[in-house]
Amino acid sequence: MKHVSDSSFEEDVLKSSSPVLVDFWAEWCGPCRQIAPALEELDQSMGDKVTVAKINIDENPNTPNKYGVRGIPTLMVFKDGQVAATKIGALPRSKLIEWVESVV
């Protein structure tokens, strides 16, 4: 799993040759911590199809603002530098995997 920042977002996410699932999260967010194990599992099981990246919205406010993130966790799949899909809120592990597979 990759940790990205406002300064690395363009290089790590927008210029990535493969799809990137970005988790907009914060330390204080309970649902964010709740889905973290499922995201790690997804990163390991689909590592060749999609990169999982996390961006802390408290430490990196510019990127969430740019993409209109209002609630967390917000998950966005980026393909070819564009947002391909967005989910807001914690999803059960099976729904999360199903959603990512349907997008990538």
Active site residue 90: no
Active site residue 4: no
The position carrying tokens 């799949």 is 77
Task: Check 32, 39, 52, 96 and give the catalytic one.
Answer: 32
Residue 23, class by beta-carbon neighbours within 10 Å (0-12 exposed, 13-18 middle, 19+ buried)? Answer: buried
Task: Check 13, 20, 29, 52 and give the catalytic one.
Answer: 29
Tokens at 82, concatenated: 């564009």
List residues with catalytic annotation: 29, 32
